[in-house]
Amino acid sequence: MPDDPHPLLRRRIAVARGEMPGDVCLRGGRVVNVFNERIADADVLVADGMIAAVGGPFEAAETIDVAGALVTPGLIDAHMHVESTLLTPAALARVIAPRGTAAIIADPHEIGNVLGVRGIELMLEISVGLPVDCFYMASSCVPASPFENPGATLHAEAIARLLDHERVLGLAEMMNFPGVFAGDAEVLEKIRATLARGRVVDGHAPGVLGRDLDAYAAAGIRSDHECTTAVEAIARADRGMLVQVREGSMARNLDALLPAIVAGALGDWCLCTDDVLPEDLQRDGHLDGLLRRVVAAGVPVATAVRHATLVPARHYGLRDRGAVSPGFRADLAVFSGERDFRPQLVLHAGRVVGRDGAYAGDDPLPSVAVENTVHLGPLDAARFVLDADDTPHPVIRVFPDQIVTERDVRSVPHADGRWQFDPATDLALVACIQRHRPSGAMGLGLATGFGFTRHGAIGSSVGHDAHNLMIAGTQGEDMVAAARAIADDGGGFVVVQDGVVTARLPLPLAGLMATEPVEVVRRQLQAIDAAARALGCPLPSPFGTLSFLPLTVIPKLRITDAGLFDVEAFRLVGA
């Protein structure tokens, strides 16, 4: 008899029919049916990493008693940037898998801006075989706009190459919505190439409404995670777009959108974190923490689970994920209580990866080869001088827990034709320094909201999206010291006070990610946040706020290595 070409499928069918025992049976759980949004007592039978049957009783090699616990599909984060967690994919997976997360849909445009296609292919390579499945989108906007100067550019040909990878599900957030409206040929070709392959195009259109939103949707863009108001979210839902409700470390929009969710006004919505730091993941959880809040606001448990599982799975074409049902992947999360979403047991493809919120494996964290990507031109304190007189200056106003900024115009303290630090004015000098090539290019401006009360500086090699060096400080000596310390570490966060480095968090992988486990990164992040607070900075996430100052596609006033940038006018200030 010839070899059976379908042994796993044949066995799964036999297990489902009761002709053979399964591998694992979860017994006595309260199973969420995401198709009809009901919860029922049932056992779940697993064979070869897939769900063979739901109901019971069943026979299996191993039976796990989950009496009374809520059994859900593995959760899916619909939009995030792995690099923004400061962790490698392997380190991140060990944090979020035990919280019930089975898959993430990631846009690798952070590393794409530093290393180009090579960086995205590296992320694909180092995220294989993890307890969380890492899917990626082909980064649409590298750079985010023509006014940013990254380490690489991704043209339409590169996008087409990436789309042929089995774990690349579509085109990532189309941030260049002005390019969509203007019919930019490169933008339209990226969209066309994606749609021609039957893949999805994700959106990013903060504040876009009316006929412009019609045009955006007409281009084939089917989601948006940038909704900060119910008005924006409902407008997208009305046009059949998936509203990806964002709650991360830098942008927190869940509370603003919850009333619309509870009212059923958003149709197919889902949850995402976008940019989230390890401190928040370990303190608040991942999607499990967001589900607690959604359910507490009045959304039925089964409805909330459906929108964190089946809805994103269907949107991204993951047809065998997102449900506790025969023929679906055995990505299962078991939570204590029906409303608490406290992780008790997590299975990934039928294998236990989490118990009581902790990673169940004992394998060492894989190492990753790194190269120094911080290349600075000549720098000295004299470069950090801003001309000033009685003429009012444009000032970037930052807000806690938001990535949008406001444009202020105000008089600034000055002496001898130069800006002078005065803690009473809450003004800091901000600099964006080219770090991908030693050109020496640097833009200077002023920002309010950092709250510095004594001399010092904070610096970061994370500077969305081009990821040039960002420094905020009070005087040139401290700011140049911060830049040099970051270069020595090959990237990272640093705090300088009175000329002395008081805390640092090295990020040697592309200047974006640490190579240490989460416990080490979390301690370093706590230390560096404390050092920033010692300068007087009141921001909950000072380095997150700093890192978004250069992003030229988020309103309103930004800083690039070429100078201040007015997002609404879409030009450099003074140009």
Domain closes at, from 322, 357, 389: 322
User: Is residue 227 located within the same domain as residue 157?
Assistant: yes
User: Is residue 311 located within the same domain as residue 444?
Assistant: no
Report yes or no on 2 lying in a domain.
no
What's residue 230's pLDDT?
Answer: 98
User: Is residue 316 located within the same domain as residue 395?
Assistant: no
**Tokens for 107?**
């846009």
Query: Average pLDDT in the 125-132 region?
Result: 98
Query: Average pLDDT in the 57-71 region?
Result: 98
User: Is residue 395 located within the same domain as residue 300?
Assistant: no
Alpha-carbon dihedral angle through residues 95, 516, 520, 75, given to the nearest 10 degrees: -10
Query: Average pLDDT in the 279-307 region?
Result: 97
Beta strands 406-410; 456-460: pairing state: unpaired
Report yes or no on 85 lying in a domain.
yes
Domain closes at, from 302, 322, 342: 322
The CATH number given to whatever domain includes residue 203 is 3.20.20.140
Is the pLDDT assigned to residue 455 strictly greater than 60?
yes
Reduced to 3 states (helix: H, G, I; strand: E, B; else coil), residue 142 is coil
Report yes or no on 11 lying in a domain.
no
What's residue 4's pLDDT?
Answer: 84
Domain of residue 549 covers 381-572
Provide the pLDDT confidence category of residue 1 given band limits of 50, 70 and 90: very low
Q: Of the given ranges (248-252, 255-259, 490-494), which has the lowest mean pLDDT?
A: 248-252
Report yes or no on 294 lying in a domain.
yes
> How many structural domains does the chain have?
2
Is the pLDDT assigned to residue 227 strictly greater than 60?
yes
Is the pLDDT assigned to residue 338 strictly greater than 90?
no
Is the pLDDT assigned to residue 48 strictly greater than 50?
yes
User: Is residue 216 located within the same domain as residue 293?
Assistant: yes
Bridge partner list, 45:
25, 53
Is the pLDDT assigned to residue 477 strictly greater than 60?
yes
By CB atoms closer than 10 A (0-12, 13-18, 19+), residue 301 is buried
Is the pLDDT assigned to residue 351 strictly greater than 90?
yes
User: Is residue 266 located within the same domain as residue 393?
Assistant: no
Percentage of the chain lying above the pLDDT 90 cut: 94
Burial 115-146 (b: 16+ CB within 10 A, else e): bbbebbbbbbebbeebbbbbbbbbbbbbbbbe
Query: Average pLDDT in the 90-115 region?
Result: 98
Cα–Cα distance between 43 and 331 in angstroms, integer? 15
Is the pLDDT assigned to residue 433 strictly greater than 60?
yes
Domain closes at, from 322, 347, 372: 322
What's residue 98's pLDDT?
Answer: 98
What's residue 2's pLDDT?
Answer: 66
User: Is residue 214 located within the same domain as residue 100?
Assistant: yes
Provide the pLDDT confidence category of residue 105 given band limits of 50, 70 and 90: very high
Is the pLDDT assigned to residue 186 strictly greater than 90?
yes
Is the pLDDT assigned to residue 444 strictly greater than 70?
yes
Q: At what angle do helices 230-238 and 210-218 cross, to 10 degrees?
A: 50
Query: Average pLDDT in the 54-79 region?
Result: 98
Provide the pLDDT confidence category of residue 389 given band limits of 50, 70 and 90: very high
Q: Positive or negative CA dihedral for 481, 485, 486, 492?
A: negative
Alpha-carbon dihedral angle through residues 221, 227, 231, 235, given to the nearest 10 degrees: 10
Is the pLDDT assigned to residue 61 strictly greater than 70?
yes
What's residue 249's pLDDT?
Answer: 86
Report the chain's terminal Cα–Cα distance, integer Å.
77
User: Is residue 224 located within the same domain as residue 307?
Assistant: yes
Report yes or no on 498 lying in a domain.
yes
Residues 211-222 pLDDT 10s? 999 999 999 999
Measured in degrees and rounded to the nearest 5, phi and psi for residue 231 equal -60, -45
DSSP for residue 539: -
Percentage of the chain lying above the pLDDT 70 cut: 99
**Tokens for 95?**
């944090």
Report yes or no on 372 lying in a domain.
no
Report yes or no on 418 lying in a domain.
yes
- Residue pair 477/492 in contact (Cβ under 8 Å)? The answer is no
What's residue 575's pLDDT?
Answer: 57
User: Is residue 107 located within the same domain as residue 256?
Assistant: yes
Reduced to 3 states (helix: H, G, I; strand: E, B; else coil), residue 533 is helix
User: Is residue 147 located within the same domain as residue 263?
Assistant: yes
- 575 vs 418: which has the higher pLDDT: 418
User: Is residue 241 located within the same domain as residue 113?
Assistant: yes
Report yes or no on 37 lying in a domain.
no
This prediction has a pTM of: 0.94
Query: Average pLDDT in the 406-419 region?
Result: 96
User: Is residue 560 located within the same domain as residue 431?
Assistant: yes
